[in-house]
Chains A and B, each alone.
Chain A
Amino acid sequence: MSFLEYRVKTAPTGLSKVFAVNWALVLVVTAVAAIGWLMLYSISGGRIEVWAEPQMKRYAVGLVLMFIIAFTPIWFWRSMSGMAYGVSLVLLLVVEFFGTVGMGAQRWIDLGFIRLQPSELMKVTLVMMLANYYDNLDDKKVSHPLWVLVPVALIVAPTILVLMQPNLGTSIMLLMVGAGVMFAAGVSFWYFGGVLALVVGAVVAVFTSRGTPWQLLHDYQYTRIDTFLNPAADPLGAGYNIIQAKIALGSGGWAGKGFMQGTQSRLNFLPEKHTDFIFTTLGEEFGFVGASSLLLLYGLILVFLIVAAVQNRDRFSQLLIIGITVNFFLYLAINLSMVMGMAPVVGVPLPLLSYGGSATLVIMLAFGLVQSAIVHRLR
């Protein structure tokens, strides 16, 4: 019998749960989503029905879902985590074999009302699984090699499936989210240092071997890496998106060109402007001020999340919240570095802003879990 269940009686019940919800977090999340609707309205040329309205509906559904999850006891979700992980893994296998081919990669299961991306779902269920694992693991065994291998296997299995789709962005996120939970759970620094050293060593080896007799990769593979790392070398192909994105962001200047005045987005120079590259329109139309404001709101969300994790005394809840925090952070950090030309283009949406069903719903679902942990925490 865990500590949490022992103190169940202190958790709020019934209507009092409503007061236990972190409303400030709900408010900030809604504010960010509202910025997204505004941008979608602008990008579609002032037509609400194209993108803004469907996105608002999804958010509403997400919000309801969030509250349902939030009002359900966290220990119920903990007991579900193994099954959730298992279902996600099965769904990943299903898309691998029966998925609809979209955007050149098999990523969806068409459920009729929504195109479900199991890889998005996996980002949350993996966190649940790992949090549950560490909740049940004796604290002294956390850094034991055998008990490190288990979570590594839990992370690597879905990562490989996602990589096969192929979806590099999500694979990286799964790896890092998993690593984040392990780190928070207290796995020894040595493991992380070791992996980091191995990765750096491998990268150095691959690049230093170039042009030598013991070259590790084929020449064409190096060429691919080159264009991946430096898209500017191919301004009409791989580099086009990123160059246009930088032009949009930069040309916004201090205060932007004004709402619905962005030439880059209105004249369609921006690619994927309603999905992955939505931030560029914000930068173009509202400038540095607008973009920084959004960054600030995101920062606020992360602060709320980390505070919630630190305040919580339940191991599962803590690890769940921190995993979701890392997940949310990775979404925006990868997306923003990508659109600002600091990282190669990998398909990662900007959370709460980018147009799209799966990501929005999964993020709201994750926030539901966070709120459930907050509502049902020890007091």
Chain B
Amino acid sequence: MKRVNRDTEASARRVSRRSLLLGGGMTAMFAALGARMRYLGVEQADEFRLLAEENRINIRLLPPTRGLIFDRNGKGLGLNEQNYRVVMTREDAGDVEAVLNRLSHVIPLTREDLADALEALKKNSPFVPITVKDRLDWEQFSRVALNAPALPGVTPETGMSRTYPRDTDFAHVLGYVGPVSEKDLEGIENPDPVLRIPKFQIGKIGVEKWMEDTLRGQAGTKRIEVNHIGRVMRELNRIEGTAGSDVHLTIDAGVQNFVQARLGEESAACVIMDVQNGDIIAAVSAPSFDPNLFVRGISSTDFRFLMDHDHRPMANKAVQGAYPPGSTFKMVTALAALEAGVITAETTFKCPGHLDAGGRKFHCWRRGGHGTVNLERSLMESCDVFYYETALKVGIDKIAEMGRSLGLGIRHDLPMSAITEGNMPDKAWKQERHKEEWVIGDTINASIGQGFVLTSPLQLAVMTARIASGRELKPRLVRAIDGREVPLEPAPSLGFATSNLTAVQGGMVAVMNGKAGTARSARVVAEGVQMAGKTGTAQVRNISAAERERGVISNDNLPWNRRDHALFVGYAPADNPRYAVSVVVEHGGGGSTAAAPIARDALLRALYGAVPPLDAYPADQRGRIDSLLSGLRLRGDDGTYPGVSDT
């Protein structure tokens, strides 16, 4: 095909024209690209720079070191211990299974450990360290370190974990820590972000829970540079957190341990309170459990054992148990009547063994009656009819008022879990609670601490301390935080007439030391440390008239859980009160035999600052007491049991 030159020139021009048109379109596109570049890189630069930083920088929390808990003398109760563990990273290990297998020859690993570790290693990114085994001892830990060349990717690490060296002694007071649960978080408004750290431990019950904010401290932060899959490239900077504050309790670990041992396997509780300032010296609940089990993750067998135990080891009976106070309540009725002026220390009533009131017959514990009884004798011999008569004169509302001013029916605010308010009933309460009229029988029952009255061992100790001092003492559990004393306000006077207080106190002295005192067998003979006290025996069952006719079955012949509670409250020295004590032995029988001896030993232990000397006890009891005291398994000063190696 031939073409003419002119045509060729014309078509070439057309191609050129069209090419320039295309060039124009390209220029327009270039302008658009340039504008877009300007928009991204100049106008939006700040925002994108921020996004790039967000990409690059992660903020990690550094968990704070938890504050320690000490007793009043600086003995460690809740401590942090070095925790040795072995972690492994997949990318450094190479053949994961082979390395794990080799590791299992160095430290004991269960089949489960191996399977869990293998799964976690496979699931996570290759650079994420996985904990293969926790809580190794030092020897295992060093074995891993020694074998490091044969174990690529395996690193021994140390961490901190909570430990309670005096395990069972402080289980109820301290509680324990555990990993944060969803339930824990629900209860907190604006939870501290540190709580989101996996396996971060917080207090679950007891002081650990209620002093959580003090103990926890402030988390630190570190800013790290990460890449697209989250691998840490380098640390940019680090702000150290502040460790939690150390807490010094008012409790004396030695006394606490002695009382715990003394209560033994009884289902019982004992509180010792300083009559001068309200410090709780001991708050013991028995039987107890080892809180370390919970920190490590309790096995279901252990947990079931604790839950199914009929003595309820998990319950903190010292503050959460609500018991009828029985005759230990009689001081309240007496003081109410004395203060109201309806009786004096010399007022007498006749006790024929019962009182007829409101169409019912109310019995004295001594069927034959006490004859003519004054205040001192009524306390010493625990005559019931005296208090029936007194209560009818003074009325329930005055008694309840007195109970509350002595610390009953009030929730004492201590950093412990499940502190009960107990119950101090009056007319209004019954109307409110039971929609029923208060009747005379209710007053009579309440006068001897039965019926609707419920008290905790803590409340009974407060009551006794207030009677012993005449001052409105408040219980205190925390003595110092980070070495700074918690300020102590002097307790104001309760405003009772000294003669009235002395009359009641005299009665309590007679209980211990009078010829017919119900707790005479638990008296102290050493000069200057003599006790004052009051026994109580609280019925947990109703005794029917028919039963009374047949003769009341003695406690020994009843199944354990239907026997009476044994109670005792007291203080010593009688003439210059230092410590007040309360003891409740669940289903222990009579207060004088089951509770009073324990209270005596506890008080003497606190007063002497050591296991009490035998000459404090009546001569005829010393042999028995000696074998009892020397049979107690007590801790040494360091918290361990002498002669037993700590393994």
Which B residues are in CB contact (< 8 Å) with A254?
41-42, 45
CB pair A299 B30 closer than 8 Å: yes
CA distance A269 to B229 in the complex (A): 8
Q: Which of A299, A303, A309, A337 has the most CB of B within 10 A?
A: A309
CA distance A336 to B26 in the complex (A): 13
CB pair B33 A325 closer than 8 Å: no
CA distance A1 to B2 in the complex (A): 6
Q: Is A329 an interface residue (CB 8 A)?
A: yes
Given contacts A267-B225, A267-B228, A295-B30, contact A250 B36 (CB under 8 A): no
Q: Encode contact with A along B206-241: 1 for CB under 8 Å, 0 otherwise.
A: 000000000000000000011111000100000000
Interface residue from B10, B19, B30, B48 paired with A310 (Cβ < 8 Å): B19
CA distance A313 to B16 in the complex (A): 9
CB pair A269 B227 closer than 8 Å: yes
CA distance A2 to B1 in the complex (A): 8
CB pair B3 A2 closer than 8 Å: yes
- Which of B51-59, B125-133, B484-492 faces chain A? B51-59
CB pair B15 A322 closer than 8 Å: yes
CA distance A246 to B51 in the complex (A): 10
CA distance A303 to B228 in the complex (A): 40
Among residues of A, the one whose C-beta sits closest to the C-beta of B18 is A184
CA distance A309 to B8 in the complex (A): 15
CB pair A340 B40 closer than 8 Å: yes
Determine how close the nearest CB of chain B comes to the CB of A26; give it in whole angstroms: 21
Q: Is B14 an interface residue (CB 8 A)?
A: yes
CB pair A3 B41 closer than 8 Å: no
Interface set, chain A 268-296, CB cutoff 8 A to B: 268-269, 283-284, 287-288, 291-292, 295
CA distance A252 to B48 in the complex (A): 8
Q: Is A74 an interface residue (CB 8 A)?
A: no
CB pair B41 A264 closer than 8 Å: no
CA distance A264 to B56 in the complex (A): 8
CB pair B48 A250 closer than 8 Å: yes
Determine how close the nearest CB of chain A comes to the CB of B389; give it in whole angstroms: 83
CA distance A249 to B42 in the complex (A): 10
Determine how close the nearest CB of chain A comes to the CB of B638; give it in whole angstroms: 52
CB pair A249 B19 closer than 8 Å: no
CB pair B55 A318 closer than 8 Å: no
Q: Which of A251, A254, A315, A329 has the most CB of B within 10 A?
A: A251
Count of A-B contacts judged by CB separation below 8 Å: 152
Among residues of A, the one whose C-beta sits closest to the C-beta of B45 is A253
CB pair A186 B15 closer than 8 Å: yes
Among residues of B, the one whose C-beta sits closest to the C-beta of A342 is B36
CB pair A267 B15 closer than 8 Å: no
Q: Which of A3, A185, A337 has the most CB of B within 10 A?
A: A3
CA distance A333 to B22 in the complex (A): 14
Given contacts A264-B52, A326-B22, contact A250 B225 (CB under 8 A): no
Which A residues are in CB contact (< 8 Å) with B20?
306, 310
Interface set, chain A 33-66, CB cutoff 8 A to B: none
Among residues of A, the one whose C-beta sits closest to the C-beta of B23 is A306
Q: Is B38 an interface residue (CB 8 A)?
A: yes
Q: Is B346 an interface residue (CB 8 A)?
A: no
Determine how close the nearest CB of chain B comes to the CB of A343; give it in whole angstroms: 10
Could you show 17 A-B contacts with beta carbons less than 8 Å apart? A139-B7, A183-B21, A184-B22, A250-B40, A263-B52, A267-B226, A268-B228, A268-B229, A283-B41, A288-B37, A292-B34, A295-B34, A302-B26, A310-B19, A322-B15, A333-B33, A342-B36
Q: Which residues does A use to contact B, with CB under 8 Å?
A: 1-3, 136, 138-139, 180, 183-186, 244, 246-254, 263-264, 267-269, 283-284, 287-288, 291-292, 295, 298-299, 302-303, 306, 309-310, 312-315, 318-319, 322, 325-326, 329, 333, 336-337, 340-342
Q: Which residues does B use to contact A, with CB under 8 Å?
A: 1-3, 5, 7-12, 14-16, 18-23, 26, 29-30, 32-34, 36-38, 40-42, 44-45, 47-49, 51-53, 55-56, 225-229, 233
